[in-house]
Amino acid sequence: MNTSIAIIGAGLGGLTLARVLHVHGIAATVYEAEASASARPQGGMLDMHEHDGQAALRAAGLYDAFRAIIQTGGDASRVFDKDGRLLFEDGGSDGLRPEVPRAALRAILLDSLPAGTVQWGHKLTGATALGGGRHRLAFDNGASVSADLVVGADGAWSRVRPLLSPDKPAYTGTTFVETFVRNADVLQPASAEAVGPGGLFALAPRQGISAHREPDGVLHAYVALRKPLDWIAGIDFSDRDAATARVAGEFDGWAAPLRTLITGGDAAPVARPIHALPNGHRWERIAGVTLLGDAAHLMPPSGDGANLAMFDGAQLAEAIAAHGDDIEAALAAYERELFPRSAAAADDAYSVFDACYGDDAPHSLVDFLKSVAPAA
């Protein structure tokens, strides 16, 4: 193949694209803003779904490597109300939705690529159309390259997206505050017991805590608050104690093992305002450029975004392999399936998000989980 392919972003989506292209004998270069693979903690557990994330890993020839990093029992889940009453429990099976650490998954993808595929420390700052579908890419380190195909796999705040679409992510009205409780079985045993081997949702109308057990006894929680951005901006998150007290103040009266997921850590909480692109985000075909993952369809977290990004990457690679140097045919085929797939996923994401953090929580989530539970 004579086409030069530049993938912007070494997240799970961009790396899956590069890997599946490599499986098909097609070279690509991934340009990543961060300085190295370890520049930022990747954190978090991801459940890999059979129909998208796992399918992508099969296409990447990495299914066995993925099975080796599954956290046993990690897919168990519980739903509590604010008083600590257990409303729903699913013991999990590690079958359909096994949980893996995001960092380990990313490492498998990185290790599967030829040396030099990822160019670290290359933050895209601009892209100029050269005609004929080619683009000139400029990076913050002064480098520039041209490519026949540019794939924006650069996440929520994509610098590639403006080539295709004027849309920008908008605040959803919900902010997650991220907390960690380390050595929890020893230091916060009641919280560790509540979380169990997998994860919990502790919910009340319009607020909640979702927490997951990570390797080495770490409890990683997202504290969800439906608040305007200026309320969040009014908290000084660099002041650990003050920020923790302000967030925990919203959970006064909650059962102690749940509230301790906010107060029992030793690190400053981190605010993560949740943004989303318009539902059904799409664009007209423009030669030589496309998007995948969050860059294409940022949606509220519902446990599927990373899976979707990986599936997009695998699908795009398969389309390129099938169409050879006819890149426009490959992109048209990829986008024909991408748009309806991501619109349906966004609808699902809003339903799950509302079940978790809407006016009827926690019962809305319990009803949802019962409706999707496999028949006994």
Ligand X SMILES: Cc1cc2nc3c(=O)[nH]c(=O)nc-3n(C[C@H](O)[C@H](O)[C@H](O)COP(=O)(O)OP(=O)(O)OC[C@H]3O[C@@H](n4cnc5c(N)ncnc54)[C@H](O)[C@@H]3O)c2cc1C
Does residue 34 touch ligand X according to CB under 6 A? yes
In whole angstroms, how close is the CB of 198 to ligand X at the nearest point? 12
DSSP letter assigned to residue 277: P
Choice between 76 and 255, CB closer to ligand X? 76
Does residue 8 touch ligand X according to CB under 6 A? yes
In whole angstroms, how close is the CB of 241 to ligand X at the nearest point? 23
Closest CA to 18 of 88, 116, 146: 116
Q: Which of 123, 134, 182, 240 binds ligand X (CB under 6 A)?
A: 123
* Cα(347)–Cα(353) distance, integer angstroms: 10
In whole angstroms, how close is the CB of 19 to ligand X at the nearest point? 13
Query: What is the per-residue DSSP string for 3-57?
Result: --EEEE--SHHHHHHHHHHHHTT---EEE-SSSSTTSS----EEEPPTTTHHHHH
Does residue 13 touch ligand X according to CB under 6 A? yes
* Cα(368)–Cα(364) distance, integer angstroms: 6
**What type of residue sits at position 107?**
A
Does residue 362 touch ligand X according to CB under 6 A? no
Does residue 98 touch ligand X according to CB under 6 A? no
CB proximity list for 129: less than 8 A, separation 6 or greater = 135, 163, 288
Choice between 84 and 119, CB closer to ligand X? 119
For residues 342 and 292, the answer to whether their CB atoms sit within 8 Å is no
In whole angstroms, how close is the CB of 202 to ligand X at the nearest point? 16
Choice between 98 and 305, CB closer to ligand X? 305
Query: What is the per-residue DSSP string for 43-90?
Result: --EEEPPTTTHHHHHHHTT-HHHHHTT--TTTT-EEEEETT--EEEEE
Does residue 192 touch ligand X according to CB under 6 A? no
* Cα(75)–Cα(116) distance, integer angstroms: 35
Q: Which of 6, 9, 133, 177 binds ligand X (CB under 6 A)?
A: 9
- Binders of ligand X among 207-236, rule CB under 6 A? 222
The region that residue 45 occupies, defined by phi over 0 for left and psi between -120 and 50 for alpha, beta otherwise, is beta
Does residue 133 touch ligand X according to CB under 6 A? no
In whole angstroms, how close is the CB of 127 to ligand X at the nearest point? 10
Choice between 237 and 329, CB closer to ligand X? 237
- Binders of ligand X among 291-330, rule CB under 6 A? 293-295, 301, 303-307, 309
Structure tokens at 111: 């290790």
Neighbour tally for 310: CB within 10 Å = 34
Q: Which stretch binds ligand X (CB under 6 A): 232-240, 262-270, 290-298, 328-336?
A: 290-298
Q: Which of 55, 105, 150, 153 binds ligand X (CB under 6 A)?
A: 153
Does residue 10 touch ligand X according to CB under 6 A? yes
- Binders of ligand X among 61-80, rule CB under 6 A? none
In whole angstroms, how close is the CB of 199 to ligand X at the nearest point? 9
Alpha helices in 250-358 (DSSP H): 256-263, 294-297, 305-323, 327-357
In whole angstroms, how close is the CB of 297 to ligand X at the nearest point? 9
DSSP letter assigned to residue 197: T
Does residue 152 touch ligand X according to CB under 6 A? no
Does residue 124 touch ligand X according to CB under 6 A? yes
Choice between 196 and 303, CB closer to ligand X? 303
* Cα(376)–Cα(363) distance, integer angstroms: 21
| Residue count, binding to ligand X (CB under 6 A) | 31
Structure tokens at 289: 């450029």
The beta-strand segments (E) located in 60-169 are 77-81, 86-90, 99-101, 118-119, 124-131, 134-139, 144-147, 149-152
Choice between 235 and 255, CB closer to ligand X? 235
Residues at the contact surface with ligand X, assessed by CB under 6 A:
8-14, 31-34, 46, 123-124, 153-155, 159, 176, 222, 272, 293-295, 301, 303-307, 309
